[in-house]
């Protein structure tokens, strides 16, 4: 079921199985305009052997997700190593839901090319927060162990790398944010944010600094690019 959570003044909605099965439930949540963050949990939806748990929105629902970001909402995608192939919201195979956030990122000007800005590795590495993310206050200083993860290739993104693996894969980030408050990340007029997380389980990234940052900056923007 969906999990509504409140952190201070930030209202979070974590999507799960029943919402994957019925897009109208997501529509209803978005239509209430009562949440600040929507988490698309690609890991817990389905067992990888069928499409049963994966969230595949229709065009109307996809447009509502995009409008949610434009008006100031945050969409966080929690994925895995197998969840990197798609760049379209209606991708109909069993590789998770990362196509939803990738499609929104592309539509809102977050990348320099529409495909091939994500990839994957089956390595076991430690990741560390980037200096830029530490300066912005969206991460803690702790390192995180990664095991089989997807990632964003930084040179093709206009966003902020949050966790990197510089000793093994320089120039990539396993957690990446596009923030409408920061000039150049997204198109002019976009007020919200998108966050890509390419590892769960071993990663278990501390999102409290990010949530506090979102709380402090809801509804603000310097105008985008």
DSSP string, 21-85: H-HHHHHHHHHTT--SEEEEE-SSSS-SSSSTT-----HHHHHHHHHHHHTT-EEEEE--TT--S
- Whole-angstrom distance, CA of residue 25 vs CA of residue 222: 33
**How many Cβ atoms sit within 10 Å of the Cβ of residue 8?**
10
Q: Burial of 19 by CB count in 10 Å (0-12 exposed, 13-18 middle, 19+ buried)? A: buried
Rounded mean pLDDT, 28-39: 86
Residue owning tokens 């002019």: 188
Q: What value, to the nearest 5°, has the Cα angle with vertex 178 and ends 174 and 184?
A: 130
Rounded mean pLDDT, 15-30: 76
pLDDT of res. 46: 46
Rounded mean pLDDT, 129-156: 95
- Whole-angstrom distance, CA of residue 87 vs CA of residue 190: 20
- pLDDT higher than threshold 50 for residue 1: no
% of the chain exceeding 90 in pLDDT: 50
- pLDDT higher than threshold 60 for residue 53: no
Residue 14 confidence class, pLDDT cut points 50, 70, 90: confident
Distances (CA, A) of 91 to 15, 26, 109, 194: 18, 18, 20, 19
Q: Across-strand partners of 49?
A: none
**How many Cβ atoms sit within 10 Å of the Cβ of residue 217?**
17
Higher pLDDT, 13 or 131: 131
CATH code assigned to 3-217 = 3.40.50
Distance of CA 193 to the CA centre of its chain: 8
pLDDT of res. 171: 97
pLDDT of res. 47: 47
pLDDT of res. 138: 96
**How many Cβ atoms sit within 10 Å of the Cβ of residue 42?**
27
Rounded mean pLDDT, 129-153: 94
């Amino acid at each position: 079921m969906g999990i509504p959570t409140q952190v201070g003044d930030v209202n979070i909605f974590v999507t799960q199985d029943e919402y994957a099965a019925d897009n109208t439930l997501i529509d209803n949540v978005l239509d209430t305009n009562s949440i600040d963050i929507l988490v698309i949990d690609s890991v817990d939806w389905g067992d990888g052997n069928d499409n049963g748990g994966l969230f595949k929105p229709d065009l109307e629902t996809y447009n509502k997700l995009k409008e949610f970001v434009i008006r100031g909402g945050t969409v966080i995608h929690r994925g895995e190593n197998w969840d990197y192939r798609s760049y379209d919201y209606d991708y109909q195979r069993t590789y998770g839901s990362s196509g939803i956030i990738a499609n929104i990122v592309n539509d809102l000007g977050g990348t320099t090319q529409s495909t091939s800005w994500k990839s994957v590795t089956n390595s076991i590495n430690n990741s560390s927060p980037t200096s830029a993310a530490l300066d912005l206050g969206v991460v803690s200083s702790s390192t995180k162990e990664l095991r089989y993860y997807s990632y964003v290739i930084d040179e093709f993104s206009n966003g902020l790398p949050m966790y990197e693996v510089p000793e093994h894969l320089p120039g990539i980030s396993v957690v990446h944010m596009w923030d409408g408050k920061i000039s150049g990340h997204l198109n002019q007029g976009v007020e919200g944010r998108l966050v890509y997380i390419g590892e769960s389980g071993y990663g278990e990234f501390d999102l409290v600094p990010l949530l506090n940052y979102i709380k402090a900056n809801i509804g603000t923007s310097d105008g985008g690019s």
